Amino acid sequence: MAIIISSSMSDSGKSLLTAVLVKHLRGIPFKAQNMSLNSFPTKDGGEIAFIQAFQAIGGGLAPQRFMNPVLLKPSGKGIEVIVWGESQGNLSAEEYYSKIGIIWEKINSVISKEMVIESAGGIGEPNFIERDISGFKIMQRGVPSVLVLDIERGGAFASAYGIYNMLPSSVRDKLKGFIINKFRGDEKLLDQAISWLENRTSMKYLGVIPYDERLRIMAEDSMNVSDLGDGELEVGVISYPYMSNFNEFHVFANSNARLRFITKPSQLSKADLVILPGTRNTKISLTWLIERGFLDVLKRKTVLGICGGFQIMGNKLLDPFGLEAGEPSSYEGLGLLPINVKFRSEKVVSISRARSDFGSIDGYEIRRGDIDYIRHKPLLQIEYRNGAKVEIEDGAWNENFIGLSIHGSLYSEGGKAILKQLGIKIGSSSLEDDIKKSVNLAYDIIKDKVDLERIEQIYIENDRNET
């Protein structure tokens, strides 16, 4: 039928192992509910979590809406709830969970035999278990699960034993095995603990994944960002609250620059380029920048803003529906670019292509802000959204300040040409190629450390039981 990759905690390696198993089993990635500010468009204009798109692309598949039926995006004013790729607006937790029964019925109907399912956070939490549509409810269907345990943070075996005993007896036998992740040292030191856990549960040891910097896949949220590249030029990405869609900066991993995520103006003293990334809440991110004294530093630097970061660089932001501020309002931007921004109720979610004097600019848009130019020429013209012909002005370049709305555009011909004007040379060919290389490398490292054949047997045996 399917297999669930679960854990006792977040950031334990579930996403990594899911990506590897999607490739190995030729399966379909699936996460019923994900909370993340990193998202990605499907070809038909749906919005899903970036990590499910990553897992799909790494396995040679096109990202699709059903791979992530529910995406939750914290906004500072409630949570934006995206169901089957469509935004339902900002809801409170109570409002969302009042709808969980209806949402689960549809999710339950799409779970298939080819799925590698990633659960959310820690499985079996007593305050959440009955609402856990990404793990526990799927186990109740009879789908087997494998635990990924992060030994670096300690308590791996205790947490595994705790999960086993916290789960109702009716599903405990669905916990088929466990994998130790991020281990440093002699694996023989684990033997006693492995035997102890196997003797007290129905789970079998399935291998150990070593701590290896090369296994750092593109981050799912801002807690997991890491510096990239080791070139001579320095790029500083300002990690403000609600930073979103920052995996596009993986492009700098193969460049003549080194990229650092920073939170203090003093950290920009040596930066050759400063990037204002996307944000789920421009007002909160903008206020944070000003209160921490970034504006004076930014005025003296070369600054590139993307999507929300581009909007922040303008003169005024108009929010007539209260989508960012929580109530209808307008507020002053950084004043670095001669534009105004108006947020509309409809959300643009698209795979986009634009033309510019620098060449074709390809990527994706996830935004509500429209750009209004103040006696200034746009940097580019968006020509296609999800394959449909459009004519949308976008982007601006004014002295040392540059902005555009298209995520992932630094991988494209025009994006690389813009960076080249700033002295930065990009070696990567595309975001998709970087994803595939990352998954292939992870597979090559893990295949000799984890019993993939036994995992495949669990997957196949359960399929036979269901049929």
Same domain for 418 and 314, yes or no, is yes
Residues 6+ apart with CB under 8 A from 284: 76, 241, 242
Q: Which of 83, 115, 130 is nearest to 18 (CA)?
A: 115
- Which 3 state secondary structure label does DSSP give 310? helix
CATH of the domain at 450: 3.40.50.300
Same domain for 94 and 170, yes or no, is yes
The string of DSSP codes covering 164-218 is HHHS-HHHHTTEEEEEEEEE-S-GGGGHHHHHHHHHHSS-EEEEEEEP-GGG-PS
Residues 77 and 324: their CA atoms lie apart, in Å, by: 8
Residues 6+ apart with CB under 8 A from 45: 85, 349, 350, 385, 386
Residue 317 lies inside a defined structural domain of this protein:
yes
pLDDT for the residue numbered 425: 98
Residue 7 lies inside a defined structural domain of this protein:
yes
Residue 423: pLDDT above 60?
Answer: yes
Q: What is the pLDDT of residues 435-455, one digit of tens each?
A: 999 999 999 999 999 999 999
Catalytic annotation on 376? Answer: no
Residue 282 lies inside a defined structural domain of this protein:
yes
| Arithmetic mean of pLDDT, 351-377 | 96
Residue 328 lies inside a defined structural domain of this protein:
yes
Same domain for 411 and 451, yes or no, is no
Could you report how far apart the first and last alpha carbons of the chain are, in Å? 8
Catalytic annotation on 24? Answer: no
Same domain for 48 and 161, yes or no, is yes
Burial of 210-231, coded b for 16+ CB within 10 Å and e otherwise, reads eeeeebebbbbbbeebeebbeb
Q: Residue 144 in contact with residue 174, Cβ under 8 Å?
A: yes
| Arithmetic mean of pLDDT, 398-415 | 97
Residue 367 lies inside a defined structural domain of this protein:
yes
Same domain for 104 and 199, yes or no, is yes
Same domain for 11 and 102, yes or no, is yes
Residue 336: pLDDT above 80?
Answer: yes
Same domain for 207 and 270, yes or no, is no
Q: Residue 2 in contact with residue 117, Cβ under 8 Å?
A: yes
Task: Give 320's DSSP letter.
Answer: T
pLDDT for the residue numbered 216: 86
Tell me phi and psi for residue 95, to 5 degrees: -65, -40
Domain residue limits at 226 = 222-428
Burial of 23-41, coded b for 16+ CB within 10 Å and e otherwise, reads bbbebbbbbbbbbbbbbbb
- For 307, 363, 370, the CA distances from 420, given in Å and listed in that order, are 20, 18, 28
Same domain for 45 and 106, yes or no, is yes
Residue 346 lies inside a defined structural domain of this protein:
yes
Which helix (H) or strand (E) covers residue 381, if one does?
A: strand 380-385
| Arithmetic mean of pLDDT, 262-279 | 97
Q: Residue 281 in contact with residue 255, Cβ under 8 Å?
A: no
pLDDT for the residue numbered 96: 93
| Residue indicated by tokens 């630094």 | 410
Same domain for 380 and 314, yes or no, is yes
Residue 164: pLDDT above 70?
Answer: yes
Which tokens in the block code for residue 412? 């494209």
Percent of the chain with pLDDT over 70: 97
pLDDT for the residue numbered 379: 97
pLDDT for the residue numbered 310: 98
CATH of the domain at 366: 3.40.50.880
Residue 467: pLDDT above 50?
Answer: no
pLDDT for the residue numbered 154: 87
Cβ neighbours of 256 (radius 10 Å): 16
Name the average pLDDT for the chain: 94
Q: Residue 75 in contact with residue 98, Cβ under 8 Å?
A: no
Residues 6+ apart with CB under 8 A from 287: none
| Arithmetic mean of pLDDT, 153-173 | 94
Helical spans, DSSP H, in 256-362: 282-291, 294-299, 308-312
Same domain for 358 and 461, yes or no, is no
Out of 24, 250, 376, 407, pick the active-site residue: 407
Same domain for 367 and 460, yes or no, is no
Residue 216 lies inside a defined structural domain of this protein:
no
Cβ neighbours of 196 (radius 10 Å): 12
How many structural domains comprise the chain? Answer: 2
Q: Residue 372 in contact with residue 341, Cβ under 8 Å?
A: yes
Q: Residue 170 in contact with residue 196, Cβ under 8 Å?
A: no
Same domain for 87 and 142, yes or no, is yes
The amino acid occupying position 189 is L
Residues 322 and 328: their CA atoms lie apart, in Å, by: 4
Out of 24, 250, 307, 376, pick the active-site residue: 307
Which tokens in the block code for residue 165? 């005993």
| Arithmetic mean of pLDDT, 96-120 | 93
pLDDT for the residue numbered 1: 66
Residue 217 lies inside a defined structural domain of this protein:
no
